[in-house]
Amino acid sequence: MNGLTVSHLRKCYGDLTAVEDLDLQVRRGEIFGLIGPNGAGKSTSMMMIIGLLKPDSGTISFDDQPFDIRSSEMRSRFGLVPQNLAIYPELTAIQNLRFFGRLNGLSGQKLNERIDFVLHITGLQDKANHKVDTFSGGMARRLNFGVALVHEPEFVVLDEPTVGIDPQSRTNLLDGIRELKKRGAGVLYASHYMEEVEAICDRVAIMDHGRLLKEGTLDELLDRNQAELAIDVESLPDDVATKLREIAEIETNPAGKIRIQVSHSLHHRDDSNHLRSVFEILDQAGIPLENVTSQQTSLETLFLKLTGRKLRD
């Protein structure tokens, strides 16, 4: 298969298993989204894929060739956009691009052409000769993206590339990622912004506790005929809560109300019966409804359903 193949990848730190039995395939010409809560193992996985961290077991290959970080030819086929800025603030944009281009073996006319391309795709033409320490956060993020592209990699790994930037810079970066796909590069994209993942990714994998929970296209992951109904009540006696937990999920919402969540579909008889049963149980117990809302299943609702709503540090 042309592209990246990860098989049975595993990484431990003492008694902590950061990544366990990870399998991924990212084809050329596709954007693959990797999402998960803090501590899910995303960054560890990407550091192993790019060769900056040695896995305890498992294999990584590109175009059916084992990935070897010691090979300059193999390294040149990859680009990395880390979450933390990896550019030199005392240098100008052009000087940064020239440095990273030469580091990857470019020189002469080819290097100049690639610098021009990156300045164009990042919208930094007017800032080419300005030092990075004068840049706004969004401009620095765009250059951080650009230095990973200067050597024209065949595969690009992006770790939270749009953290804390303005909407214009975010739009520019997402357009740049789409351009990579158009040019045939494979892209592994990790983000906490679900709307970004839904907007640009061809396939998505959800990770938690080092394991892959679910993977597929958005159509495969999300049933567009499925909806989530949320019913808020002031309080819920234990015996009523026990009955409801057999057919629904119960939690406390941000407003301090008890929230009962039911997945339902107009095309599934069991779902309709569950929904009717929830209302009958509440009615028989004489519990008034504070609020009822319904929304179509989204990547965010699926993500929360699989990984839970508990806060992560």
At 105, which CATH number? Answer: 3.40.50.300
DSSP annotation of 92 reads B
In a domain, 246, yes or no: yes
Residues 41 and 100 reside in one and the same domain: yes
* Banded pLDDT at 115 (limits 50, 70, 90): very high
Where residue 307 falls among pLDDT bands split at 50, 70, 90? confident
The phi, psi pair for 90, rounded to 5°, reads -80, -5
Mean pLDDT within 138-151: 95
- Angle (CA) 52-63-69 rounded to 5° is 20
Percent of all residues in the chain with a pLDDT value above 70, rounded to a whole number: 93
- Give residue 313's pLDDT band: very low, low, confident or very high (50, 70, 90): low
pTM of the model: 0.78
Q: Which amino acid is at 90?
A: E
Residue 260, domain extent: 226-297
CA atoms of 50 and 161, how far apart (whole Å): 16
Flag whether pLDDT at 169 surpasses 80. Answer: yes
291: domain CATH number is 3.30.70.980
Q: What mean pLDDT comes out for the span 21-42?
A: 93
88 falls within a domain? yes
Q: What is the reported pLDDT for 293?
A: 81
pLDDT tens per residue across span 222-271: 765 566 788 889 889 999 999 988 888 888 877 778 988 887 665 554 55
